[in-house]
């Protein structure tokens, strides 16, 4: 008789970073959704955050899925996001000199460490942990911001397609 022992049932391997972009505004939100946005620091439309793929954060995403779009972020997109949209207090842009001075890493090394779960955004002193993006060039998908991505809209899970959306929102 075999007995199955799973000591690490809840210890899923960290596999991906998830980019979350707020698509819809603040009017008429349920208080639970408003609180979730405040906790995640998605204060306004077109704000983006990067989170780990953990069960507790996935549960929070299920709460706000009708107001955001999210998917797996890749290194190249994160590097461009960091170079162009990372901000310091006073709305100053994060420079490579500042990053080297504070963390002894350049953008590429920081990105590699970030995706290997050795560094976090909060490891850079003073850097804001959210990114303010422009509305996407060419607009959101044809279905608009009230339908899910699977139905031709802009909301909910979109997988690797989030990278194309972020690149359209950076430029």
pLDDT, residue 1, reads 43
| pLDDT average, residue stretch 122-140 | 90
What local confidence, expressed as pLDDT, does residue 13 receive?
43
CATH of range 17-74+131-170; options 3.30.1390.20, 1.10.10.920, 3.30.390.10, 3.90.480.20: 3.30.1390.20
The pLDDT value recorded for residue 87 is: 93
pLDDT above 80 for 14: no
Strands (DSSP E) found in the chain: 17-22, 47-52, 68-72, 87-88, 92-93, 130-132, 156-157
pLDDT, average across residues 37-63 = 89
Q: What is the mean pLDDT of residues 59-86?
A: 91
Tell me the two tokens of residue 119: 């560094």
pLDDT at 11 over 50: no
- The reply to whether CATH 2.40.160 applies to domain 75-127 is no
Q: How far apart are CA 102 and CA 150, in angstroms?
A: 42
* Average pLDDT for 103-127: 90
Q: Where are the domains of the chain?
A: 17-74+131-170, 75-127
- Asked if the model's pLDDT at residue 6 lies above 70, the reply is no
Q: Is the pLDDT of residue 5 over 80?
A: no
Residue 97 has pLDDT above 90, yes or no: yes
At 15 the pLDDT is 66
């Amino acid at each position: 008789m075999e007995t199955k022992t799973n000591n690490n049932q809840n210890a899923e391997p960290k596999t991906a970073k998830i980019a979350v972009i707020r698509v819809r505004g603040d009017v008429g939100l349920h208080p639970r959704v408003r609180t979730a946005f405040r906790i995640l620091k998605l204060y306004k439309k077109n704000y983006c955050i990067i989170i780990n793929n953990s069960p507790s954060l996935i549960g929070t995403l299920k709460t706000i899925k009708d107001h955001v779009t999210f998917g797996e972020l890749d290194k190249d997109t994160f590097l461009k996001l960091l170079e162009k949209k990372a901000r310091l207090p006073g709305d100053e842009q994060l420079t490579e000199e500042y990053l080297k001075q504070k963390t002894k890493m350049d953008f590429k090394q920081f990105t590699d460490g970030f995706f290997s779960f050795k560094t976090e955004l909060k490891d850079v002193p003073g850097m804001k942990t959210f990114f303010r993006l422009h509305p996407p060039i060419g607009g959101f998908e044809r279905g608009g911001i009230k339908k899910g991505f699977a139905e031709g809209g802009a909301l909910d899970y979109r997988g690797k397609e989030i990278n194309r959306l972020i690149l359209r929102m950076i430029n």
